[in-house]
Chain A
């Protein structure tokens, strides 16, 4: 197997709120992403999935754990060279397409900002050409470069966000809930666009979402997070056809079924951590088969299988 592009080992991210209280958002999460693949990270709000994404791109200083990207360790103090590499080769697409675009800048400057900072283009004409090309790639037209974000619809704005991430030619794009603010029919357009771009450029995605049905469409491998622990991980098939952890099962059962006769008779499985008697901190990682991992104590695993 090839070397992973990104390797996260035992990542912990704690936020001290006061002297006596610390929010433990991420507690020992490990996964790796290979070049050109899509890794889906799912979980409910508060599960720490966004925090993982933000720690990886180093918007936070990780409390503990090792993150390796392209063979370099990026979890400690960054030297100048590593930081520049990280800022260039790893990009992020955010959830809210309105809040993540500067309303006072034209689309051309939003997309081109990275080029300017890293001095990647020698002349203005080349910059404009590259931006025009990028706009076309995401399904907008080069004339849109002179407009402001408010002149676009939600789906178009998210395309601008994608263009901004793509123009740096990144190896890894972190997509944080990038479709949950969009309408169903527009979601499909954006997901298809992301897939096309991956086929063309070979970039890898860390796709963070709470909507398992979309995650299934785009991901190769999936990790399920709950309360800062990776409770189950594996390939798409392993997670969807043989879910083992009760939390994964409840997530899967919550997906609405587009079939009224069945949906009306079905109730979603309930999973309540507080009453389930499961303590994530006691669980250890168990390999089921292939790449399928579950966090559990031996007794729990016996019960679930």
Chain B
């Protein structure tokens, strides 16, 4: 996708879950790549499979999950300085925990209260993975932990070091979680809805913090989110996910200014717009399909006002729009009737483009 080297490459991932109601086919062929130093966002509604994809990479899948096919290739430079590529799905849990999790790929979870241990001081929690992965001495670890606390914008690091999670506010806790994720110098940071549990004002600050750290530490970041505002702020590339599949992928400008998939149109239209006085918000009709009964044809067809007969029969392949941009919708087939995006959205995008010109 870009000149940088690909470090994480997910190919044709397919995962299903056995539940007592039947087999849920949660991930149905996902492809995704992440290049060094870049930010990729995965956008979708709850239940679209965005978290499951990343959990697979971390070896955190629940025991009722089975990986039917696919590979997750991770390229890294090992401790001896040799470049290696491994398939994360083929590694045992033990190997993953020892060599990958925390050390090379770290994760920031949604709820900072449940992802911290309430019985340990935050200093101890930050140092934990330094002892484990980097074999630092106690003094070195403490110095590094204080440094990290300052990096994530916690004042009074020395004092906070001895505090317990309940003594901190929500925004502070999320900063601590980020510090923990960074403690073993990972290559990849996966942020699973990092700001959903936080206020808008703190959300902006946390996102700016992650961006800043990313530049300083040359991290590659994957964001999982349902908020397009977050995506607009942080992402270089965007993957729009629906019902276990990626339906549109492109760089952030292509997704926001020239979206091709009707689902992306819907998502963009549903965002509250501060510049119009419309009385009604656009909403995508219906709700996402239940993957217990796998939909035939295009999974989005039932909610798509532009659906054609073929959408109910056959699943659309990815159609290439530009080098970086492709979308899975039959509307892009050369034989398809010409369908334009809804007028309101077009007006809005035109306004957005004009704003950019004015701004620059």
**Which residue of the partner chain, among B200, B232, B273, B287, contacts A254 with CB atoms under 8 Å?**
B200
> Do A264 and B283 touch across chains, with their CB atoms under 8 A apart?
no
Q: How far is the CA of A257 from the CA of B252 in the complex (A)?
A: 13
Minimal beta-carbon separation of A175 from chain B (angstroms):
15
Interface string of B252-281 (1 = CB under 8 A from A): 110010000000001110111110000111
Minimal beta-carbon separation of A81 from chain B (angstroms):
38
- Chain B interface mostly: helix
> Do A251 and B229 touch across chains, with their CB atoms under 8 A apart?
no
When distances are taken between beta carbons in the complex, the residues of chain B under 8 Å from A255 are: 200, 229, 274
Q: How far is the CA of A214 from the CA of B267 in the complex (A)?
A: 15
> Do B270 and A185 touch across chains, with their CB atoms under 8 A apart?
yes
**Which residue of the partner chain, among B256, B273, B280, B360, contacts A195 with CB atoms under 8 Å?**
B280
When distances are taken between beta carbons in the complex, the residues of chain B under 8 Å from A154 are: 46
> Do A192 and B283 touch across chains, with their CB atoms under 8 A apart?
yes
Say if the beta carbon of A270 comes within 8 Å of chain B. Answer: yes
**Which residue of the partner chain, among B200, B204, B271, B359, contacts A184 with CB atoms under 8 Å?**
B271
Q: How far is the CA of A272 from the CA of B298 in the complex (A)?
A: 49
> Do B359 and A258 touch across chains, with their CB atoms under 8 A apart?
no
When distances are taken between beta carbons in the complex, the residues of chain B under 8 Å from A114 are: none
When distances are taken between beta carbons in the complex, the residues of chain B under 8 Å from A184 are: 45, 226-228, 267, 270-271
Known: A213-B274, A255-B274. Contact between A261 and B253, CB under 8 A?
yes
> Do B267 and A185 touch across chains, with their CB atoms under 8 A apart?
yes
Count how many chain B residues have C-beta atoms less than 8 Å from C-beta atoms of the other chain.
Answer: 44
> Do B274 and A216 touch across chains, with their CB atoms under 8 A apart?
yes
Q: How far is the CA of A255 from the CA of B272 in the complex (A)?
A: 10
Minimal beta-carbon separation of A95 from chain B (angstroms):
12
Q: How far is the CA of A216 from the CA of B200 in the complex (A)?
A: 14
- Chain A interface mostly: helix
> Do A185 and B266 touch across chains, with their CB atoms under 8 A apart?
yes
**Which residue of the partner chain, among B45, B205, B208, B355, contacts A262 with CB atoms under 8 Å?**
B355
> Do B199 and A256 touch across chains, with their CB atoms under 8 A apart?
no
Give residues of chain A (264-294) contacting chain B, Cβ–Cβ below 8 Å: 264-265, 267-268, 270-271
Q: How far is the CA of A279 from the CA of B202 in the complex (A)?
A: 22
> Do A185 and B233 touch across chains, with their CB atoms under 8 A apart?
no
> Do B266 and A263 touch across chains, with their CB atoms under 8 A apart?
no
Q: How far is the CA of A256 from the CA of B252 in the complex (A)?
A: 15
**Which residue of the partner chain, among A44, A189, A262, contacts B283 with CB atoms under 8 Å?**
A189
When distances are taken between beta carbons in the complex, the residues of chain B under 8 Å from A268 are: 201, 204-205, 208
Say if the beta carbon of B230 comes within 8 Å of chain A. Answer: yes
Known: A185-B270, A188-B282, A217-B281. Contact between A259 and B200, CB under 8 A?
no
> Do A258 and B228 touch across chains, with their CB atoms under 8 A apart?
yes
Known: A255-B229, A258-B271. Contact between A212 and B280, CB under 8 A?
no
Q: How far is the CA of A189 from the CA of B266 in the complex (A)?
A: 12
Q: How far is the CA of A187 from the CA of B269 in the complex (A)?
A: 12
> Do A264 and B233 touch across chains, with their CB atoms under 8 A apart?
yes
Say if the beta carbon of B352 comes within 8 Å of chain A. Answer: yes
Minimal beta-carbon separation of B114 from chain A (angstroms):
15
When distances are taken between beta carbons in the complex, the residues of chain B under 8 Å from A265 are: 359
Minimal beta-carbon separation of A51 from chain B (angstroms):
16
Say if the beta carbon of A240 comes within 8 Å of chain B. Answer: yes
When distances are taken between beta carbons in the complex, the residues of chain A under 8 Å from B352 are: 258-259
Say if the beta carbon of B203 comes within 8 Å of chain A. Answer: yes
Given A183-B226, A258-B232, 10 additional A-B pairs, CB 8 A: A154-B46, A184-B226, A186-B287, A188-B272, A216-B272, A217-B281, A251-B201, A254-B200, A258-B228, A260-B253
Closest 7 A-B residue pairs measured CB to CB? A256-B229, A188-B283, A268-B204, A213-B272, A188-B281, A263-B232, A261-B356
Interface residues of B (CB under 8 A from A): 45-46, 169-170, 199-205, 208, 226-233, 235, 252-253, 256, 266-268, 270-274, 279-284, 287, 352, 355-356, 359-360
Interface residues of A (CB under 8 A from B): 44-46, 153-156, 183-189, 191-192, 195, 210-214, 216-217, 240, 250-251, 253-265, 267-268, 270-271
Could you write out 15 A-B pairs with CB less than 8 Å apart? Answer: A45-B170, A184-B227, A185-B267, A187-B270, A188-B272, A189-B283, A216-B274, A254-B204, A255-B229, A257-B232, A258-B232, A259-B232, A260-B233, A261-B356, A268-B205
